[in-house]
Amino acid sequence: MRLTTRGRYAVTAMLDLALHAQEKPVSLAEISERQTISLSYLEQLFARLRQSGLVASVRGPGGGYRLVDSSSNIWVADIIDAVNESVDTTSCQGKGDCQGGSICLTHYLWDDLSQQIHSFLSSISLADLVAKRNVQDIAHRQVTQLLTLDENARASAC
């Protein structure tokens, strides 16, 4: 099983949003800069997240995105499902045609694993992740690095 970039980036971006959206909406440019995810890729992901009702856009100056619900009510599995990501571990993508059109010997083992993974991800909320000390430390480091880069850029421009 391999979670693709789309699912990983969607979870990362939503976690960034949960960490930084307390006072104001968060722009995709800010998320892009902190997480080094392409802005155009984030736009695609957030279109799907908005359609799924996980985020809302705020227009105008100071606009951006905000979570529609509390971070304690948004589950990692919801985010992955919203971007049409699969946590399927079967080689046949769950179709049951793994061995020349028939179900292979281990199909149900991998199918059960897929269900366990989805269940596990359904038990972890954004609030759970935000509360982790290591997540907070990393978020603080990212903000500090960007501030240092901005200060250095301003200093060299003078």
The fraction of the chain above a pLDDT of 90, given in percent, is: 68
Q: Average pLDDT in the 83-111 region?
A: 86
Residue 58 above 60 pLDDT? yes
pLDDT confidence of residue 91: 82
pLDDT confidence of residue 4: 82
Rg (CA), the chain: 19
- 11 closest CA partner among 125, 104, 143: 125
Strands (E), 11-151: 55-58, 64-67
Residue 150 above 90 pLDDT? no
Query: Which pTM value belongs to this model?
Result: 0.86
pLDDT confidence of residue 158: 64
Long-range CB contacts for residues 114-123, cutoff 8 Å, separation at least 24: 114/1, 114/87, 114/88, 114/89, 114/90, 117/1, 117/87, 117/89, 118/77, 118/87, 121/75, 121/76, 121/77, 121/80, 121/87, 122/75, 122/76, 122/77, 122/78, 123/75
The fraction of the chain above a pLDDT of 70, given in percent, is: 97
Q: Give domain 5-85+125-157's CATH number out of 1.10.260.40, 1.10.10.10, 3.30.70.141, 3.40.50.2300.
A: 1.10.10.10
Q: Give the DSSP per-residue string, 71-102.
A: GGG-BHHHHHHHTT-----STTTTSS-TBTTB
> How far is Cα 72 from Cα 126, in angstroms, rounded to an integer?
6
Residues 90-103: pLDDT tens digits? Answer: 888 878 888 888 89
pLDDT confidence of residue 27: 95
Q: Band of the pLDDT at 45, cuts 50, 70, 90?
A: very high
Residue 116 above 90 pLDDT? yes
